[in-house]
Amino acid sequence: MLTSLYAVLFYGATMVLVAGIAYRVWQYSTTPAPLKIPTTPAPLTRGGVAVRLAREVVLFESLFKANKWIWLFGWVFHAGLLLVLMRHLRYFTEPVWGWVVLMQPAGLYASFAMVAGLLGLWARRIFVPRIRYISAPSDHLMLALLIAIGVSGLAMRYVARTDIVAVKAFFLGLIYFDWQPLPADPVLLIHLTLVVALMVIFPVSKLLHGPGLFFSPSRNQPDDARERRHVAPSLTTPLRAEAGAKR
């Protein structure tokens, strides 16, 4: 019963997540960008733009320029999350990939870093009046959700250990459509329920901000307006020879 419930939840959530992201990416890529609006100074070539975007993704360059505290907490959280997700690959692969085994210890520290980063961001959201002013309830709830996921995960490791072999069997079973029983361990169930919630909320919320960067014209356009005529797909009205004739 429990197993089927969570199996269905995870299948559903995965579908929502994948379809949601795909829809958003499709929507962005089919919406025209009629004018050249890179924030300058901007790279002059596509290659340069790739480097600019890479710096934004890896280093959070603009955020670094803007505010060192937000940058620190935000970067630590995202880097921690990345390592934690990579570490979680061990529950979905058999045999576990070599590099995932190697990074195991880093992944553990990363989970603390992730929670610490989130707490820092939340503290700023609560105590800095400017940021409190711009926060909606959902902004607080999403931080709470992420922190709860991190803390419940840590609890399974350091407080109430769970039968991790059985958990892995459950997820491999989901992948190979050969369901295996899920341990009825409260902390585990809390962790998994929150993850399902996150997967469903992700595509319909600000959490899906990653693709936004790649489609942001102020960041992804090269500064080459004089070298290459930017053609505006949404401007279909033909050129009038007589300017001002319309009115």
Partner 1 sequence: MVELKIRQPVPGEEIPDPAAIPALVPGAMAHSRPYLASPEHQEAIGFPGELVDDWKERAIGKLGELVANSRALRVYLDTCVKCGACTDKCHYFLGTGDPKNMPVARQDLLRKVYRRYFTFAGKYFPWLVGAEDLTEEVLDEWYSYFHQCSQCRRCSVYCPYGIDTAEVSMAAREIMDSVGKGQKYCNEIIGKVMKFGNNLGLQEKAHRATLEDLEEDIEDETGVAVRLPLDEKGADILLVTPSADFFAEPHIDGLIGYAKVFHHVGASWTISSYASEAANFGMFIGSQDNMRELMLRIRKAAEDLGVKRIIFGECGHAWRAAYNFLDTLAGPFDFLDRRYPVPQHICEYTYDLIQKGALNFDKSLNDDIRLTFHDSCNVSRASRMGDKPGGQYEIPRAILRAVCNHFYDMPADTIREATFCCGGGGGLLTDDLLELRIKGAQPRMRAMQQVAQDHGVTHIAAICAICKTQFAKVMPEYGFEMDDVVSVHQMVSNAILLDGQNTGGEEDDEDGEDGAERAVSGG
By the criterion CB under 8 A, which residues form the site for partner 1? 24, 27-28, 31-37, 39-44, 56, 60, 62-63, 65-67, 70, 74, 121, 124-125, 128-131, 133-139, 141, 204-206, 208-209, 212-213, 215-219, 223, 225-226, 229-232, 234-235, 239-244, 246-247
At closest approach, how far in Å is the CB of 158 from partner 1? Answer: 30
Q: In angstroms, rounded to a whole number, what is the distance separating the alpha carbons of residues 161 and 188?
A: 9
Backbone φ and ψ for 231, nearest 5 degrees, come out as -95, 135
Please, what is the Cα angle at 217 between 54 and 243, to 5 degrees?
150
Token pair, residue 82, equals 């990345």
Q: Which is nearer to partner 1, 24 or 88 (CB)?
A: 24
Distance CA 212, CA 27 (A): 11
- Asked if residue 219 lies in contact with residue 39, where contact means CB atoms within 8 angstroms, the answer is yes
CB of 102 to partner 1, least distance (A): 31
Which one, 48 or 183, has the nearer CB to partner 1? 48
At its nearest, how many Å lie between partner 1 and the CB of residue 123? 12
Select 4 or 31, whichever has its Cβ closest to partner 1. Answer: 31
Q: Is 38 exposed, middle or buried (0-12, 13-18, 19+ CB in 10 A)?
A: buried
Q: How far is the CB of 76 from partner 1 (least distance, A)?
A: 14
Separation CA 219–CA 205 (nearest Å): 22
Q: How far is the CB of 199 from partner 1 (least distance, A)?
A: 15
Q: How far is the CB of 82 from partner 1 (least distance, A)?
A: 16
Q: Is the Cβ of residue 4 or residue 27 nearer to partner 1 in the bound state?
A: 27
Q: Are the CB atoms for 49 and 221 separated by under 8 Å?
A: yes
Q: Which is nearer to partner 1, 95 or 244 (CB)?
A: 244
Q: Which is nearer to partner 1, 2 or 213 (CB)?
A: 213
CB atoms within 10 A of CB 76: 19
- C-alpha–C-alpha distance, residues 88 and 155, integer Å: 15
